[in-house]
Amino acid sequence: MEKDTTIQTQEADVQRYREAFRLFDIHDTGDIRLDELKEVLKNLGVEASDDDISRRLAEVDIRNNGVINFDEFVRFVSKGNTEMTPADEMRQMFRIFDPDQKGYVTKDELKVVLNKLGLPFTEQQIKGMLDYADIAGDGRINYYEFIQMMR
């Protein structure tokens, strides 16, 4: 039974890494460039110098071409990975949807991120999601509403 749980956990981790990779791969090339990596890390609120990011990228860039593919990305995010609490994960996820850190997500931001994740919803479906999550009725999703929507 414990083995099944471990496999499920590993599969869930791989799925999370795939979703994150799609977000980092801004130009949808199958590789992440250093500038793309820096931009998304900044949006996630990760404080790291350009030198730190470049050094870590060089450590995992086994093809030595200045970009990382999915396998190298998994090494990048796994290296030195500390356990995050569910609250930390939720905050990081919200930052992906709210890159300019306004404290809320608009319909357009929701659409962009969902498309980037390979989930091309129709305008009507996105409006339905927004209407469902928008408890305050102000046409946007704040952090509290986001948490409720993700449960």
Domain spans of the chain, in order of start: 8-81, 86-150
If we measure between CA atoms, which residue out of 102, 100, 80 comes closest to residue 39?
100
The answer to whether 8-81 and 86-150 have equal CATH topology is: yes
Instruction: Record the pTM.
Output: 0.51
Distance between CA atoms of 98 and 77, rounded to whole angstroms?
21
pLDDT of 40 reads 67
pLDDT of 8 reads 52
Name the CATH superfamily for 8-81.
EF-hand (1.10.238.10)
CATH 3.40.50.2300 fits 86-150, yes or no: no
pLDDT of 46 reads 67
Taking residues 27-44, report their average pLDDT. 76
pLDDT of 125 reads 92
Distance between CA atoms of 113 and 129, rounded to whole angstroms?
13
- Please say if the pLDDT value at position 24 is more than 60: yes
List the beta strands (DSSP E) in 1-151: 32-33, 67-68, 104-105, 141-142
pLDDT of 3 reads 47
